[in-house]
Every structure is written in structure tokens, then in C-alpha cells.
Amino acid sequence: MKRGFSFSLPVTVVVSSIAFVYFCTVFVFIDRWFGLMTSPGIMNAFAFTGVSFMCVLNYALAIIMDPGRVPSTFLPNIEDSSVTVHEIKRKGGDLRYCQKCSHFKPPRAHHCRVCKTCVLRMDHHCIWINNCVGHSNYKVFFVFVVYTVIACIYSLVLLVGSLTNDSQRDEEQSADSLRIVYVISGLLLVPLSMALSVLLGWHIYLILQNKTTIEYHEGVRATGLEDKLGNAYKHPYDLGAYRNLVTVLGPRILCWICPTSKHIGNGLRFRAAYDECSSD
């Protein structure tokens, strides 16, 4: 299921920033360093355009894709012995039920107050895509962050190289408007590269643990409670680093940076570490 477009100021800011960085990188940094008509210039322009295209494609998909809604007909089958994990409420021990949506919640699903619906394997609500990051669009969101980090660092390298090359020319040849472009680009790219690199590192950590952001914080609380009881807490969906990667990104390594999601299943049931133990 796909969502329609609606105006969002944060999304407008992101789109404007992408357009600005692309224009400056290709028509200022590459042109003034190599020249757009030279072989190095054409190669760099082509490469940066490819990375930018993947950024825009994955960003658009992250916006329009439904993150995964809980079917209104979902009912947990507590008699199914093959289902080893039934998430329950923290108080009362009952199966998780959403009073706002009036249906049971499958494992890893949470209600989003902004989207006003329960989202399968919800990670968080992201204002920058005006959408939840959940079961259906998590990989697309992650791949978008990967390409954005590559694009920002690539552009920053071209900016520094172009600026170094410009310093070797006569100062009179550098117009004031170009200096403003360099300053604005630097002020935009440096913090973006740092912030997005941290975000990328965070989600790589989550993928290796097969956790969502919500599950990480829940795990912190659970670890504290288990420590008080003298027990060791283990995330139930942690299958090991490689299998966690395959579960989230897909079985084909070459497709890990592509917006493919045929491997994710319906989001109502996930393989747990307990399944591995019971099959041994």
C-alpha cells in the first residue's frame, strides 16, 4: 500500500537541500575543479548524479510507502505451538490490545500517535519523511540514509578539492557569489555529514542486533528489571549478526543497497531465537 503526497515543511526542506547540494556539487565544485567537459569532470558528475538519484528514489519511496498497518482482522493464535513469542502488556499479563485501533497488536507492533494507527515492527515516526518508519519501509529508509551519507561526504570532498584548486588561481577570478555558495555549502554539508553518519551507525547497530529503536529502549528497561532479579536479558529476535542482516536487508548481499523488500514477509510474525533453540 502506498500513501499520497501531502505538504510537509520538513520534507520541503530536505528536497530543497538535496537540490541545492546537487547543483553546487555538479555545476560549481566539479566544474571549477575538473571542468565539466573533461573526462574526470564527466566521470565525477555521472557518479554523483547516480548517488543523488538513488537518494531521491529511496527518499520518495520512504515517504509514499505505507510502513505496514496491522490488519483489522488480526487475532493472536495462542494455541499455535509454533509461535514461541506472544508479547503481553507490562501490567496485567494480557495480550497487547490497542484501545484506539480496537484490535490486538502482533509482536513488535506499536501505535503511532501521529499516524493514528498501529504500525508493524515500528521503529519511529520520522518528521523528515512525514511518515512512520516501520516494517514495510524500514529498509528503504536505511538505504536512503546510506546513500545520503555517501553523497554528503562525496560532495564535501569535491568542495574541499575545488576550494583548494581555486586558491591557486588569482583571487580576482573568484566572484563573491561563489564564495557565498562555498560558505553555505560547507555550513550545510559538515553538520549533515556528521549527523547522518551517527544516524547510519546507530541503525547499523540496530540491524546487527535485529532491534528497532523502540525495542532498544524497551530492552534497556528490561535489562534493568532482569538484573534486579539476577537474570540475563536477551533480545528475543537476535539471531546472530549475519542472520540479522539477512532478515532486514535480504538474502542477496548485492541487493542490500537496493530498495527491494520481497524478503520481509507480512510483518505479523518474526523468527525468534527461541525458534532456533526449539529446532535443535
In DSSP notation, 26-77 reads IIIIIHHHT-TTSHHHHHHHHHHHHHHHHHHHHHHHHHHB---BPPTT----
> How many C-alpha atoms does 148 have within 13 Å on its Cβ side?
27
Give the range of the structural domain holding residue 129, as residue numbers without chain letter. Answer: 9-165+176-276
State the chain's mean pLDDT as an integer.
87
The verdict on residue 1 lying in a domain is no
Of 174 and 50, the structure prediction assigns the larger pLDDT to: 50
As given in the structure block, the three cell numbers for residue 269 are: 510474525
Active centre residues (catalytic): 126
When pLDDT is averaged across residues 7-22 and rounded to a whole number, the result is 96
As given in the structure block, the three cell numbers for residue 43 are: 566521470
The verdict on residue 170 lying in a domain is no
| Structural domains counted in the chain | 1
The verdict on residue 2 lying in a domain is no
Strand partners, 133: 124
Say if residue 40's pLDDT is above 80: yes
When pLDDT is averaged across residues 125-141 and rounded to a whole number, the result is 96
Close Cβ partners of 119 (under 8 Å, ≥ 6 residues apart) = 67, 68, 69, 70, 109, 110, 111, 112, 132, 134, 135
The verdict on residue 191 lying in a domain is yes
The verdict on residue 34 lying in a domain is yes
How much is the pTM? 0.89
Q: In the structure, what pLDDT confidence band is assigned to residue 93 with cuts at 50, 70 and 90?
A: very low
From the list 141, 90, 134, the residue with the least C-alpha distance to 112 is 134
Say if residue 6's pLDDT is above 50: yes
Of 216 and 92, the structure prediction assigns the larger pLDDT to: 216
Q: In the structure, what pLDDT confidence band is assigned to residue 95 with cuts at 50, 70 and 90?
A: confident
How much is the pLDDT for 232? 73
% the chain with pLDDT above 70: 84
Cβ(145)–Cβ(273) below 8 Å: no
Dist. CA 87–CA 252, nearest whole Å: 31
The verdict on residue 115 lying in a domain is yes
How much is the pLDDT for 275? 66
The verdict on residue 77 lying in a domain is yes
The verdict on residue 71 lying in a domain is yes
